[in-house]
Chains A and B, each alone.
Chain A
Amino acid sequence: MSVTTASGSRPAAHLPGRASDRSITLALSILAAIPILLFLLLPLTGILLRGFQTPAGFGLGNFIQTFGADRFWRLVGNSISMSLTSTLIAVGLAYFYAYALQRASIPLKPFLRIAVLTPLFAPSLVQAQGLILLLGRNGALNRFLGFDIDIYGFWGTTIANALYAFPYAYLILSAALAVADARIYESAETLGAGPARIFRDVTLPATRFGLAAAIFVVFTLVMTDFGNPMVIGGDFSVLATEVYNQVIGQAQFGLGAVIGIVLLVPAVLAKLIEKRISARQHALVTAQSKPLEVKPSRGRDIAFSVYAYVIVALILSVLAIVVLASFVRLWPYNMSFTLRHYQFDVQNGTAPLWNSVGVSLATAILGVAITGLTAIVVHKFRNPLTGPLSMLAILPAAVPGMVLGLGYVLTFNDPANPLNILYGSFALIVILSVYYNHAHAFLISSTSLKQIGPVFDEASTTLGGSTLTTLRKVTLPLLWPTLLGVGVFYFMRTMVSLSAVIFLVTPSTQLAAVSVLQLSDRGALNQAAAFSVCIMAIVVACLLIVRTILWLAGAKNVTLIR
């Protein structure tokens, strides 16, 4: 069915009252599709087509050269084995962490919710430096505690990536575990099922979509990240570092683009199997649902408390050692206290920090609107646009930031493009940040939407509510805590993301993450760490302010992160 017949030629006769509705849903779908075509598909095509450009003209030369090398297949093997291991670790641990927070009574949950997200708003330098200060050959464990660990290589990369991806998995799984129908649990108990059986037969199947989404997100994230393997990988090379070698190391866009295309494969595969997974996902909240309340259970609560605090301790120790080192004269040689690293002598001083706050806030607002709309269109409306739209929505997960950033330069710096006026402005940086993080935000929203039963929509429609009314009165109220979390996610990521925006910053649009890079590039690692600490402090302060505003507005029980 073509787009026009869907909206116009179908008579409203046999479905009274629905025709205008259908045009509204179609209009909303088009509204969701236009920006994603302009700001994701267009730039991505622009850069990836470079894969077909060879000195001899348009052709498959770069692919033949790449696929013909044994080295390439070794990198594929490295990437897959490392990504699978990291995914297994991150998703496995995050599932039970989210479970502990959603389904058990443990002390200081608000702290645990924020603490686990620190890898999201710690600049990548902090992660890398923290791991080396902690686990390096001259790191704290080896130097002060007499261990003999050599972190560089496969395991270093795997652990660093699992740590980095953990909060992404947590956010999705937490959204999946947040909603449950108490009645199912009650009947399971009445039928005599034990906790293990309930977990296997009720909880696990109910979170199938979230689990699949988390696996996809972590796998693609780890597959496309080059930061961790660069720093802690030693000689261990993966596809993402090969993109870096080609594009940044040798300015070979063509060969880099070929690998960029290869990295899209997991996203396409995920899309193909997604249908099978979601087909078996049933809505968790239906009209008769009773929210699940956590019942006290001493043994379970103690076990999960210990588990959650061990995880948080591991995550925070990496961060803490960098914070500590930023207050020390010269780690690990001279441990006297100093504030000298906080006297920033980088270009523009701390001004980029405030630019970043502005850009991140704008990204959060625009991001919530765009991702929220896209997720609703994909999951609540059915029309020919939704399939391609949902594919595009998750595609950014498989695109290295460097590739998207260069795609933006190629597309929006072109004087023939009417959107060229955006080039060099903060606006384009905001848009890039929205699409760079689009997949993760979309999947967090989707996980929540999947769990809201169609009964609500049907009931609302039967009662004469239009699509818009249903959206406003039913879907959005159920979805808004998740959307708030999505906004927080966007804010945190945009404060520190670097690999894509580095190609868009200009002398008048400097960002905090770039300052950190400038400092570390010139060897002032301690100052770079101190600057990172300021970024993290600002993120935490912003979260507290938003929390206070919500509290004053009367939303006392809403958490910023589910």
Chain B
Amino acid sequence: MHLTKRSALAALAAVMLSGTAMANTITVYTAYEEDEAAAFLEAAKTSLPDINVNLLRLSTGDLAARIIAEKANPQHDVLWGFAVTSMVNPEILEGLEAYQPVGLDQVPERFRDADGKWFAVTGYMAALCVNNERLQARGMTMPTSWADLTDPSFKGEVVMPNPASSGTGYIQINSLLQMMGEEKGWEFLDKLDQNVAQYIKSGSRPCNAASAGEYTVGASFALRAVKNIEEGYPITLVVPSEGAGNELEANALVAASKNKDAAKRFLDWTLSAEAANVYYDWKAIVTVPGGKMPERFTSAGLPDDVSQVLFPVDFKAAADDRSRIIQKWQEKYER
């Protein structure tokens, strides 16, 4: 009798415990690259030992499509490290709930939503990957700017992402248009188009193509170049001197979350000092003060202070202009 009673109690306790564990389980959707997400998650687990984080990682486009398809019954509590130009899509934005996490004032105002629905702690920036072997073999000079790529010697040697299928592609042309003004900007893109061999339908593939020696210059983003240099590919990372286009990766609370306390604690964590430290290890752009840029970034060619080379993008305009610019781009350049 005694024994059964005790085991019944134990079973009850187990149920209760698993009940509490369930209450502290959150599902987080992220578009951070898999290795980044794994490193961040490990740090989060150390700081939040009682929260069980189920992490689903998909690329920005796949994730956006999934969130929109799941809109009727969202499966996630937190959206983490997700491109702002996709976040502001009305079909995604309407599913978010305003939240002021602890420490939000560290984030400069231009990196957060006026309505408080999202805030960006990290971001990525455009960069060129230049294949050294191919550059030498063809006797070309190392480009330092977008303007250099319009030189006739680069004809057929430049690959760029297609902005209709790649967010990276969009921030590249959008930053040029914002920088030069639309009229001059399109004129410049006309000239650049003369030298572009392909508009590849992905943001990282142009750098991979340059790394593999398929083309000399691949317009991509900085971290792809850093990682490919670490793999050993003979490429140089070039931050275009006009200023690098960039995109924010924002965090947000999902309105339909059934576990908002844990979700909010997770979001608070994304602004903590522990989080900032690990962000600095992996990201070129971190909007909060904290650690410093690791050596592997600077040795790959990134400046110590990236804020000096970033173009100050108007993110709201970038999002608002998106379909108009892509449509015009397709009319002009899609072959």
Residues of B within 8 A of A (CB): 27, 33-38, 54-59, 61-62, 64-66, 68-70, 72-73, 75, 86, 89, 91-92, 133-134, 162, 164-166, 197-202, 204-205, 207-208, 212-215, 224, 227-228, 231-234, 322-323, 326, 330-331, 334-335
Given A330-B231, A346-B34, A521-B34, A248-B62 contact (CB < 8 Å): yes
A424–B36 Cα distance when bound, in Å, is 25
Which 5 A-B pairs have CB atoms at the shortest separation, nearest pair first? A138-B213, A248-B61, A249-B165, A409-B69, A507-B54
Docked complex: A305-336 residues within 8 A CB-CB of B: 329-330, 332-334
A414–B75 Cα distance when bound, in Å, is 11
Given A136-B214, A249-B166, A522-B234 contact (CB < 8 Å): no
A237–B199 Cα distance when bound, in Å, is 10
A193 within 8 A of B: no
One of A230, A330, A333, A413 near B75 (C-beta < 8 A)? A413
Residues of A within 8 Å of B213, CB to CB, are 137-138, 143, 332
Q: Which residue of B lies closest to A136 (CB)?
A: B214
Q: Could you list 10 A-B pairs, sorted by A, with CB under 8 Å?
A: A136-B212, A152-B198, A241-B165, A333-B232, A333-B233, A345-B35, A347-B55, A413-B72, A521-B59, A523-B207
A506–B327 Cα distance when bound, in Å, is 34
Q: Which residue of B lies closest to A70 (CB)?
A: B331
List 18 additional A-B contacts (Cβ < 8 Å) besides A234-B198, A251-B68.
Answer: A71-B330, A230-B201, A235-B199, A236-B335, A245-B165, A247-B61, A247-B65, A248-B165, A249-B164, A249-B201, A253-B68, A409-B69, A410-B69, A410-B72, A507-B27, A521-B33, A522-B35, A525-B208
Given A71-B330, A71-B334, A409-B70 contact (CB < 8 Å): yes
A368–B59 Cα distance when bound, in Å, is 33
Residues of B within 8 Å of A505, CB to CB, are 56
Given A245-B201, A508-B54, A521-B59, A413-B334 contact (CB < 8 Å): no
A522/B164 in contact, CB under 8 A: no
Residues of B within 8 Å of A424, CB to CB, are 75
A415/B72 in contact, CB under 8 A: yes
Residues of B within 8 Å of A526, CB to CB, are 231
Minimum CB–CB distance for B152 against chain A, Å? 19
Given A136-B212, A333-B234, A521-B34, A249-B68 contact (CB < 8 Å): no
Q: Which residue of A lies closest to B322 (CB)?
A: A250
Minimum CB–CB distance for B276 against chain A, Å? 22
Taken residue by residue from 242 to 263, chain A's Cβ proximity to chain B (1 for < 8 Å, 0 otherwise) reads as 0011011111010000000000
One of A237, A245, A334, A522 near B33 (C-beta < 8 A)? A522
A528–B165 Cα distance when bound, in Å, is 22
B65/A248 in contact, CB under 8 A: yes
Q: Which residue of B lies closest to A506 (CB)?
A: B56
One of B64, B200, B231, B335 near A523 (C-beta < 8 A)? B231
Minimum CB–CB distance for B66 against chain A, Å? 5
Residues of A within 8 Å of B323, CB to CB, are 250
Sorting the interface of chain A by its residue count into under 10, 10 to 19, 20 to 34 or 35 or more gives 35 or more
Minimum CB–CB distance for B242 against chain A, Å? 25
A122 within 8 A of B: no
A32 within 8 A of B: no
A244–B166 Cα distance when bound, in Å, is 10
A235/B69 in contact, CB under 8 A: no
Minimum CB–CB distance for A424 against chain B, Å? 7
One of A231, A503, A519 near B66 (C-beta < 8 A)? A503
Residues of A within 8 Å of B86, CB to CB, are 251
A251/B334 in contact, CB under 8 A: no
Taken residue by residue from 386 to 423, chain A's Cβ proximity to chain B (1 for < 8 Å, 0 otherwise) reads as 00000000000000001000100110011100001000
Minimum CB–CB distance for B116 against chain A, Å? 23
One of A330, A347, A525 near B34 (C-beta < 8 A)? A347
A305–B166 Cα distance when bound, in Å, is 46
Minimum CB–CB distance for A291 against chain B, Å? 50
Docked complex: A503-533 residues within 8 A CB-CB of B: 503, 505-508, 518-519, 521-526
Minimum CB–CB distance for A336 against chain B, Å? 11
Given A251-B89, A413-B72, A137-B233 contact (CB < 8 Å): no
Residues of A within 8 Å of B202, CB to CB, are 230
Q: Which residue of B lies closest to A508 (CB)?
A: B54
Residues of A within 8 Å of B70, CB to CB, are 409, 413
Given A241-B201, A251-B89, A521-B33, A506-B54 contact (CB < 8 Å): yes
Given A234-B198, A248-B165, A347-B57, A503-B69 contact (CB < 8 Å): yes
Q: Which residue, of A71, A137, A241, A524, has the highest number of chain B Cβ atoms within 10 A?
A: A137
A250/B55 in contact, CB under 8 A: no
Q: Which residue of A lies closest to B29 (CB)?
A: A507
